[in-house]
Amino acid sequence: MEQYTEQAQSAKVEELYMDTKLWKSQLRFTDDEMHFIDHLLNSYVFEPNTPNLFERLRDYQDRLQKTVKNRKEVTDRIRHHENNLGGMLECMDEACDMVYYQEHEQLKAEVTSFQENFRYLKREIFQYAGGILKKRKPFS
């Protein structure tokens, strides 16, 4: 069984910690996007005579709220994981490290899945909204 040096363990922890910082930054950006989309869906810029307008907007609002909740859950898991990374410094063998790496990879998959799902929802909303925005008369 290979013994790990404190310096090597510190470098491993730092690498995982940098990943968590990136994920948190990306999720903060999606938070801004979600606020914008929420304001868009609750605004009065849509053509009122669009078939099923209310139902579609309600569906998008509900799905957006679920996404907001999911973003918070993922962010909380990242924060928890980040706080636990210091325990990796106490690992002195590969088996102990694997617990942290497995949790990290699972979290990475959750972040990726969240981002892909949000991108899909955002694209769907923007495609729908782009076709039914009220036509503004140009200034004369």
Q: Above 60 in pLDDT, residue 81?
A: yes
Q: What is the pLDDT of residue 136?
A: 53
**pLDDT score of 2:** 47
What is the pTM (predicted TM-score) of this model? 0.83
Pseudo-torsion of CA 66, 70, 76, 77, nearest 10°? 150
Please name which of 71, 82, 78 lies closest in space to residue 113, comparing C-alpha atoms.
71
Q: Which residue has the higher pLDDT, 61 or 90?
A: 61
Task: Determine the pLDDT at residue 23.
Answer: 96
Would you tell me the crossing angle of helices 6-41 and 53-84 to the nearest 10 degrees? 160
Residue 25: per-residue pLDDT: 95
The domain locations on the chain are 6-40+50-132
Residue 128 gets the label, from left (phi > 0), alpha (psi -120 to 50) or beta, of alpha
Region 74-88 average pLDDT? 91
